[in-house]
């Protein structure tokens, strides 16, 4: 990082913009960021708002080429962020004093992984889908802990696994909307095993096969959460990333009960209460 960039204050206007965007478009991470120290939250909001911008870029793209152009804009914007001369965008300006050199491959990888969302081709298998979720959501959880000054490999690895599992659950919550945009996040080999293919699914056919593949995905996500929780107790300082596990567990369990019906998250006050209880009893 250029000397004098890291640690500079984020302007109040840019900080407020980032927090508004995260609260509106990524409420789970906004809630978990409340468990970070007050002084650290603007840095977390800057990172989370970067994730929001990438998500909105691919969601708003009517054609892959338009999405690619916007993602290239963010590639170049990151160049400016790490050079200490951010573009005139509130998220880019807020990122400049928030990032560290260790975050660069994480943020670059998020952009590259998001490009897959622009195309109709589904992931080949569950390994490919987990790699995508890890690059987009797991990496963001790791960046959050780096912004909080945490660097222990085991803590980062667990947070990254939680972020990946949360990302898989988020795909299930957004499945109907993604199918409407002709985006298919379910593994192609699972669909084949269920007797269908991407073209049939995108045509609105074979709902039972989609339900079966979705349930398998929920099981994988729950397994990853269990793996992340196994073993040593984690420091409270890591809870702004780890508490996502508590929300993901509830949503995934509801998904399995409801089948392919849309998962409507529990009302915000109940999610806040669940996180508070989890933090108090140290059960994330």
Q: What is the pLDDT of residue 3?
A: 41
Within 10 angstroms of residue 245's Cβ, the number of other Cβ atoms is: 26
Task: Considering only residues 187 and 62, tell me which one the structure prediction assigns the higher pLDDT.
Answer: 187
Same-domain pairing of 226 and 163: yes
Residues 88 and 125 in one domain: no
Provide the H-helix boundaries in 194-267.
198-202, 207-229, 239-242, 244-258
Residues 103 and 199 in one domain: no
Q: Are residues 60 and 181 in the same domain?
A: no
Count of C-beta atoms within a 10 Å radius of residue 218: 20
Residue ranges making up the domain that contains 91: 10-119
- pLDDT bracket for residue 27 (50, 70, 90): very high
Distance in angstroms (rounded) separating the CA atoms of residues 53 and 107: 12
How many Cα atoms are found within 13 Å in the side-chain-facing hemisphere of 220?
22
- Per-residue pLDDT for 2 more than 90? no
What does the alpha-carbon distance between residue 106 and residue 6 come to, in Å, rounded to a whole number?
17
Question: Do 65 and 151 have their domain in common?
Answer: no
* CA distance between the termini of the chain: 33
Same-domain pairing of 223 and 140 = yes
Q: Is residue 2 part of a domain?
A: no
Cα(212)–Cα(208) distance, integer angstroms:
6
Q: State the chain's mean pLDDT as an integer.
A: 92
For residues 106-129, give the mean pLDDT: 95
- Token pair recorded at residue 256: 């399995």
Q: Based on the domain organization, do 160 and 105 belong to the same domain? A: no
202 near 153, Cβ under 8 Å? no
* Calpha distance 182→201 (Å, rounded): 9
- Statement to judge: residues 216 and 104 lie in one domain: no
d(CA 37, CA 23): 17
Q: Which two tokens stand for residue 52?
A: 């929001």
- In a domain, residue 3? The reply is no
Is the pLDDT higher at 135 or at 264?
Answer: 135
pTM over 0.75: yes
DSSP state of 255: H
Give yes or no: residues 160 and 58 share one domain: no
Q: In this structure, is residue 34 part of a structural domain?
A: yes
Burial of 104-116, coded b for 16+ CB within 10 Å and e otherwise, reads eebbbebbebbbb
Question: 107 near 171, Cβ under 8 Å?
Answer: no
H-helix or E-strand spanning residue 20: helix 12-25
Cα separation, 236 vs 28, whole angstroms: 18
Within-domain flag for 24: yes
Q: Is the pLDDT of residue 4 over 50?
A: no
**Euclidean distance between CA atoms 190 and 245, whole angstroms:** 25
pLDDT in tens, 28-39: 999 999 999 999
Q: pLDDT of 207-236, one tens digit each?
A: 999 999 999 999 999 999 999 999 888 999
The pLDDT confidence band at residue 120, using thresholds 50, 70 and 90, is confident
104 domain-assigned: yes
Same domain for 252 and 126:
yes
Whole-number Å distance between alpha carbons of 83 and 159: 28
How high is the pLDDT of residue 224?
96
Give the Cα separation of 219 and 176 in Å (integer).
Answer: 19
**How many structural domains comprise the chain?**
2
pLDDT band at 261; cut points 50, 70, 90:
low
Question: Are 169 and 80 found together in one domain?
Answer: no
pLDDT band at 184 (very low <50, low <70, confident <90, very high): very high
């Amino acid at each position: 990082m250029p000397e004098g960039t890291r640690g500079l204050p984020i302007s109040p206007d840019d900080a407020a913009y980032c927090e508004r965007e995260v609260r509106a478009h990524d409420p789970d991470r906004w809630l978990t960021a409340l468990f970070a120290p007050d002084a650290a939250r603007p840095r977390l909001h800057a990172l989370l708002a970067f994730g929001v911008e990438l998500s909105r870029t691919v969601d708003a793209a009517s054609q892959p080429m338009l999405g690619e152009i916007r993602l290239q804009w963010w590639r170049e914007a990151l160049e400016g962020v790490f050079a200490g001369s951010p573009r005139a965008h509130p998220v880019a300006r807020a990122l400049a004093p928030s990032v560290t050199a260790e975050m660069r491959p994480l943020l670059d990888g998020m952009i590259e992984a998001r490009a897959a969302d622009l195309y109709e081709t589904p992931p080949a298998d569950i390994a490919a889908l987990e790699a995508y979720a890890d690059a987009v959501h797991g990496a963001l959880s790791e960046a959050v802990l780096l912004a909080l000054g945490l660097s222990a490999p085991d803590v980062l690895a667990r947070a990254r696994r939680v972020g990946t599992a949360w990302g898989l659950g988020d795909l299930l919550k957004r499945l109907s909307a993604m199918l409407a945009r002709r985006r298919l996040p379910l593994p192609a080999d699972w669909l084949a095993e269920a007797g269908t293919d991407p073209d049939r699914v995108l045509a609105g056919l074979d709902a039972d096969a989609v339900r079966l593949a979705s349930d398998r995905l929920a099981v994988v996500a729950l397994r990853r959460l269990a793996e992340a929780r196994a073993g040593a107790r984690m420091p409270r300082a890591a809870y702004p990333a780890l508490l996502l596990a508590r929300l993901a567990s509830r949503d995934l369990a509801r998904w399995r009960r409801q089948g392919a019906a849309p998962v409507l998250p529990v009302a915000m006050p109940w999610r806040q209460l669940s996180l508070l209880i989890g933090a108090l009893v140290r059960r994330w």
